[in-house]
Structure 1
Amino acid sequence: MVHHTMTTNSTSASRASSRISSMSRFLVLAAIVGMLAACGSVPLPPMEVAPPRPAAAAGTPTAPDDGAPLPGPIVQGRSRWQPVRWSELPGFDTDETYEAWNAWLKSCERAPAPFAALCPEVRRLSLASPQEQRAWMMQRLQPYRVEPLNGPAEGLLTGYYEPMLEASRRPTASQNVPLYRPPATLGSRRPWYTRQEIDTLPEARAALRGREIAYVADPLDALVLQIQGSGRVRIAEPDGSVRTVRLAFAGSNDQPYRSVGGWLLQQGLLRDASWPGIKAWAVQNPQRVNEMLWSNPRTVFFREEPLSEFDASFGPRGAQGVPLTPGRSIAVDKDSIPYGTPVWLVSQGPVTSLQRLVLAQDTGSAITGAVRADYFAGWGPEAGELAGRLKQPLRLWVLWPK
């Protein structure tokens, strides 16, 4: 999935993370507080020492840290993996790993070569206890601490989510901002027309005529949907019925992403580019809203997908090609951590404390570097609030087959 995450740091460069791919993020106002200005890296707190591991359940096989020699380090893309003992993973004994097993089972639907041989065992363990799952991981996997090739071993965790919007199939007096399918001419020029050109050039408008999926009320809501790359939309149909569908990423105009919050700061129009502040500024300055929107030349196009009861329990498909699991899927730099890799994630900050098993199942254009991840929070207001506020230190360990 390719999404763009928005963050609130008003002094750093703007972040455009990936799109949620289909392969290929209201109280929401407060939720995405400033996800529009950029993020810098944050110094890590001191490494924690994990508590002693309790004995496994009777009859459960174990693979204790018995002092056996560790394997050598591995260089993977922009990262160096340093082998460690299981006892070095903070919180490993307390995570409810069965919650992550759904994400792992999804990864097994398109398992990368190093993990394909383990998938039958992963499936057999889907109903096992967390103690049994941990014991199996200790037998079959080796943890490696992820570090950058150069520079300080610090990382950053941000979040993304699926917005939920109200829309109409036809334009109305209150809902007249279109969301588009990809135009037939999208591949004929690269990059395609900018956001401003789409709104002003007759040839660009003609190329999109008839490609409208639905209409929303607020152009900033449409922008949020494009930034997150996917969303759930309740569409009022002409016959009076209402359907909830997913609008998934189907392409972009290949223009660079620019933060509208960053533009407002650079223009001296706002001192705090929080999302409520941006919305308030737009209400007070309607004559300049287009100028603000046009400062971000990137536009995203969508594909409408039905949302069954089963589909509704998972997120959109990530870059690995499998549906994302709220709280257990992350976007990573795929050159540093391959898709489908189980990862031990530790992040403590003012927003949340996380020590848990997650799966690397997505990527993002701003998710670059060894210790960098975007946390899929789910959908709806609470997920939006978490994703919008999440920006804190990060440590990662890959769990690689022995």
Structure 2
Amino acid sequence: MDTGDTAWLLVSTALVMLMTPGLALFYGGMVRRKNLISTLMMSFSILALVGVLWIVFGYTLGFGPDIGGFIGNFHFFGMNNVGEAPSDVYATTVPHLIFMMFQGMFAIITVALITGAVVERIKFSALMVFAVAWLALIYGPISHWVWGGGWLAQLGVLDFAGGTVVHINAGVSALALVLLLGARKGFKKETMEPNNIPMVLIGASLLWFGWFGFNAGSALGSNGLAAEAFVTTNTAAAMAALTWILLSWRQRRPTLLGAATGAVVGLVAITPAAGYVTPLAAIAIGAIAACASYFAMNWRSKRNFDDSLDVFACHGVGGIVGALATGLFATVAVNAAGFDGLFHGNAMQLGKQALGVLATGGFALIGTLVIGKIIDKTMGLRVTEVEEVVGLDLSQHGERAYGGIK
């Protein structure tokens, strides 16, 4: 056991935990004031719910001994066989418990990411049921495929910190829920102005800060690879934010909301590549991802498709760009445990990355549609029209974010 590695993974786990409250603020600032409490509650309650479920069954489904390349068995059910000693398979220089908890924080924020697409109209009770089913049936298998020794890992698909497992998975699942729920009442007819842009910036800044644990922590040690991932993470975020500002000048109005969104898109895109590419490659990845997500959001805004906070355009598109870019820019000069990408002489890696994108996206889309449809038919996914007009803060939680202000 290495005390330096252990200390870094403890810190990284805490940093990733901070990202979920950061996400709550990022999302919360973008909704109307009558739905702020509801939006914050979604992320915070998922932090609690998945925090428990990961201990009981989530970890073993993702990281238990392999069953047919598809899912883990129940070897780690209820933390059986998970203790202070290092694992023989995962992060062998730190206690197995802290590796388990580090991965648990990834599971928590992945579920929370989905909520941004369905804020202001989804039932809180339905969301909680969905979170349980989605963690078990979608996140468990996909995390196993990529990180738990499953079939995509065996094939050689690279995902350093969650481009497929977290971002494509959440982005496509969000898309599926939007298809089931439909648009908010008054969409494209009423002004749906963000209630607190400074809150959005605080949330984005906390996400950027926490992302150092997300990506550099995925080196699973206090070492040079962690430093490489740290630098590429900051570089891609900075370049994407700058690119978004420059793109916004097309309307001569670069916005703070756009700059914050751009930074998050850059962080999303560098996630699968962070420990496999150089800082110069991170500049390219940040710029490409910002352009792709910016135009995806513009395309979506002209259509009657209400992904409320653009989860698919940010996380789905950003994750796809990052996963494919890994197949272009990856180099064993950065990480000998990875593979070279197309630009370093290995065209096959790009094909493998594309297969990972298709497999993850297809499974998430179909699986989420099935889960969502079952919940909709049994308990209903959407609040009533009256509840939606009143706002979910009062109708679902009996609270107002700004007391005394109508």
Please classify the TM superposition score into its range, dividing by the shorter chain length.
under 0.3
More strand by share: 1
Rg larger for: 1
TM-score (normalised: structure 1): 0.21
More helix by share: 2
Q: Which has the higher contact order (CA 8 A, sep 6+)?
A: 1
